[in-house]
A and B are shown apart, each in its own frame.
Chain A
Amino acid sequence: MSNLKYALFTGCTARESTPELMSSTLAVAKKLGIELVLLDEATCCGASHLQDFDEFLSIVMNARNICYAEKHGLDMVTICNTCQLNTAEAKEKLDNDPELKARVNEKLAEVGLEYKGTSAVRHFQYALIEDYGLDAIAKKVETPLSNYNVAPFYGCHNIRPSHLHKDANMGENPYNPTSLDRLIEALEGKSIQYEDKNSCCGFHVELQAPKTANRLSGSALLGAKDADADMMVTPCPLCQIRMDVQQHNISKEVGRETHLPVLHLPQLIGLALGIDQKQLGLKHHVTEFKAK
């Protein structure tokens, strides 16, 4: 596989609370020969909250982010499900509403930018599977994950609403997603089946409704644990940080010890590709992961 090149919209968490997502993404891309151009100009996507306050502003800021991918003449990849949702939602609105696009471009013109709609927006997970290919990834495996039972946790914003994502996520069925399972199998791990793999972790109400968030996360973590998972893996850093950092609170809420390491998808891929654990940033996990 050669010549894969994307503009990487890192989002905020990869540059702050989950530095391991940044380092593992870059390490996996390098190992696979995928070129990622960092969009350092990009701002926060608004994380599905800014739109609650000012919807137009949220669209303008996301349009601006996409402009920088367009400037490079590259498709954009995201490494956070919520970045993916917000960027894709803004793009869908802009591409289907010429009047809105004109209004947004009027603002962007003030800073010398123009949204054209020429760059596709996909989560890196799907770029890997669709463009690089599972077979090609399987061929690169150096340390098979055959010792591990891995519980995939898809994260809401890569799979719902399906009509928005269908071109970006290979038509994933939101009620029965399989891409992460297939990826885990390609790395020779065992993908664990449990009810909550496509459920919500509750991240977005963590501050105002911790009980809701902890019950949702707890249900997923315990479901995975009861299905004999050694770890959980997710493409979304918001799911990851919630379920990695908050396990003491989650355990309290659900009345059972949840202890389960939660890995970012590129960390799991990196383990199988034989990338040094230091580069994968495993030391940043609150719920520690120990290699078998």
Chain B
Amino acid sequence: MKTQTITFNVFRFNAETDYLPYYKNYELEVGQDDLVLDILNRIKWEQDGTFSYRRSCRHGICGSCAIKVNDKPVLSCKVNVLELVEQFGTELTIDPQDKSRAIKDMVIDKKNFWEKYDAVKPYLIADVEEHPDKENIVSKDEAEQLLEADYCIQCGSCVYACSALGVNEDYLGPAAFAKAYRFNADVRDEAKIERLEIVDELGSGVWDCVKCNECAEACPKEVNPIEKITKLHNQLFAENVAAKNVASKHAVGFKHSMEKHGLLDEGELVRYSEGNLGVMKHIPEAITMFRKGKIVLPWNMPKSKNLDEVKKLIKSSSTVEEYKGSK
């Protein structure tokens, strides 16, 4: 069988004995069927028995062997090494999901993952009769409303790839939101409003998603967490839970602008979102931008051609009522 020599730069750290982490190189012959987990096993079994990593099912379902290769989140037991070589070349860097949370080599402390997960009440909440007369059957269509959010294996790939979470530790993050959606979309569940109030919080909730799509890219089960974040936003408006604040008004403001100009009125969007008082803090930037010819004055605001058509279309295609705000 044809093999290729690959250099693996492997993150090594033992929180009990090491002050700083370091990288150790291992050169291994890699065959076409080798998975990343095979490499981790060979390093431990053939090179250094102290090398530590989590693994269990070997079938892409337990979620324990998630790591990063050249910054790409991977489930070790699912990803072929030579496919990674094709993407990144013959030197591969093997890291834990979050280097700052490393306990020993690939093993990290996932406490923050579970705390965020717990915060959205990730379980079915319903009054269930002790002796029901009939089965509580969920139809196929109702089950499909979950949009496969129930495929999540809690591997943490999305959470440790999330841009917002990297700089805001309060943010609940993609896995928790995908799970909140999973139960909010479940016809048997009765805690939808309660969860929506949790995810509506500024600073920790869905409004702090930066829309980078790292979670969609990272998920090995194609849960597409950012799609669920959008759905939670939709539920916040549909259930009238969204507090009227800069974030919710920002989303609504796009519709107002498009109704009026087709294009976005950038200045008015900021004013509408922030309110007349809140907008004051943007005045220094506005002055600078004005001086640099970056602000279009209201009477010069460009409009889309065929604006009547745009107005008609927005009127007939709107599916959400004008938002008044819950608080």
**Contact surface of A with B, Cβ cutoff 8 Å:** 12-13, 15-19, 40-44, 46-57, 60-61, 64, 85, 107-108, 110-113, 156-157, 160-162, 173-176, 199-200, 202-205, 207-209, 211-213, 215-216, 219, 241, 245-246, 283-286
Q: Is B306 an interface residue (CB 8 A)?
A: yes
Listed A/B pairs (26) with beta-carbon separation below 8 Å: A16-B264, A16-B266, A16-B296, A17-B266, A56-B317, A56-B319, A57-B314, A61-B258, A61-B310, A108-B313, A111-B309, A111-B312, A113-B309, A160-B214, A161-B217, A162-B217, A174-B217, A176-B70, A208-B247, A208-B250, A209-B210, A212-B164, A212-B171, A213-B210, A215-B168, A241-B294
Interface band, chain B: 35 or more
How many contacting A-B pairs (Cβ < 8 A)? 203
Q: Which 3 pairs from chain A and chain B are nearest by CB? A: A52-B233, A160-B213, A200-B212
- Assembly CA distance A160 to B227 (angstroms): 13
Chain A nearest Cβ from B139, distance in angstroms: 18
Interface string of B232-269 (1 = CB under 8 A from A): 01100100000001110011101101100011101000
State which of B106-114, B184-192, B200-208 sits at the interface with chain A: B200-208
A237 to chain B, nearest CB (A): 11
User: Which of A48, A54, A241 neighbours the largest number of chain B CB atoms within 10 Å of its CB?
Assistant: A54
Please pick, from A60, A161, A176, A209, the residue contacting B213 in the complex, using a CB distance under 8 A: A161
For the complex formed, measure the closest distance between the CB of B202 and the CB atoms of chain A, giving whole angstroms: 6
B254 near A47 (CB under 8 angstroms)? yes
CB neighbours of A42 from chain B (8 A): 262, 304
Which residues of chain A have C-beta atoms less than 8 A from B316's C-beta? 107, 110
| Residues in chain B near residue A156, CB distance under 8 A | 211-214
- Nearest CB on A from B156, distance (A): 17
Chain A positions within 8 Å of B323 at CB level: 53
Q: What is the CA–CA distance of A246 and B289 in the complex, to the nearest angstrom?
A: 10
Knowing that A54-B320, A57-B317, A61-B313 touch, tell me 19 more A-B residue pairs with CB under 8 angstroms: A12-B264, A44-B258, A49-B250, A49-B254, A53-B252, A57-B319, A110-B312, A113-B309, A157-B213, A174-B217, A200-B214, A208-B246, A208-B250, A209-B202, A212-B208, A215-B168, A216-B210, A286-B289, A286-B294
**Nearest B residue to A165, CB-CB:** B213
A43 near B320 (CB under 8 angstroms)?
A: no
Task: Let me know if A205 and B318 touch, CB within 8 A.
Answer: no
Bound Cα distance from A111 to B315, whole angstroms: 12
Q: Tell me the bound Cα distance from A160 to B70 in angstroms.
A: 17
Instruction: Check B208 against A205 for contact (C-beta < 8 Å).
Output: yes
Q: Do B216 and A13 touch across chains, with their CB atoms under 8 A apart?
A: no
A113 to B254, CA, bound (A): 23
What's the Cα separation between A56 and B312 when bound, in Å? 15
> Contact check: which of A50, A55, A202 meets B210 at CB < 8 Å?
A202
A182–B320 Cα distance when bound, in Å, is: 45
**B290-317 vs A, Cβ < 8 Å mask (1 yes, 0 no):** 0011111000001011100110111011
Chain B residues lying within 8 Å of A212, measured Cβ to Cβ, are 164, 167-168, 171, 208, 210
Docked complex: B53-72 residues within 8 A CB-CB of A: 70-72
Does B163 make an interface contact (CB < 8 A)? yes
B residues in contact with A200, CB < 8 Å: 163, 210, 212, 214
* Among candidates B70, B71, B171, B305, residue contacting A41 with C-beta atoms closer than 8 Å: B305
Most buried by A among B295, B309, B317, B320: B317
Q: Which residues of A contact B153 (CB under 8 A)?
A: none
**Closest Cβ neighbor of B274 among chain A residues:** A207
Q: Which residue of B lies closest to A51 (CB)?
A: B230
Q: How far is the CA of A12 from the CA of B264 in the complex (A)?
A: 6
* CB < 8 Å neighbour of A175 from B87, B207, B288: B87
Residues of A within 8 A of B252 (CB): 53
Q: Which of A43, A175, A207, A241 contacts B273 (CB 8 A)?
A: A207
B285: interface (CB < 8 Å): yes
Shortest Cβ distance from B310 into chain A, in angstroms?
Answer: 6
Q: Are the C-beta atoms of A60 and B313 separated by less than 8 Å?
A: yes
The reply to whether A246 and B285 form a contact with Cβ atoms under 8 Å apart is yes
B residues 128-154 with Cβ under 8 Å of A?
none
What chain B residues lie within 8 Å of A285 (beta carbons)?
292
State whether the Cβ of B209 lies closer than 8 Å to any Cβ in chain A: yes
- Find out whether the CB atom of B254 lies under 8 angstroms from the CB atom of A46: yes
Inter-chain CA distance A200–B210, complex, in Å, is 8
The distance from the CB of A105 to the nearest CB of chain B, in whole angstroms, is: 11
The closest CB in chain B to the CB of A198 belongs to B71
Question: Which residues of B (152-179) have their CB < 8 Å from a CB of A?
Answer: 163-164, 166-168, 171
Task: Given A49-B250, A61-B314, verify A176-B88 contact (CB < 8 Å).
Answer: yes
Beta-carbon contact of B266 and A52 below 8 Å: no
B79 in the interface (beta carbon within 8 A): no
CB-defined contacts of B318 to chain A, threshold 8 Å: 54, 57
Please, which residue of chain B has its CB at the minimum distance from the CB of A18? B294
Partner of B310 from A43, A50, A107, A162 at Cβ < 8 Å: A43
Given contacts A44-B264, A53-B255, whether A209 and B208 have CB atoms under 8 Å apart is: yes
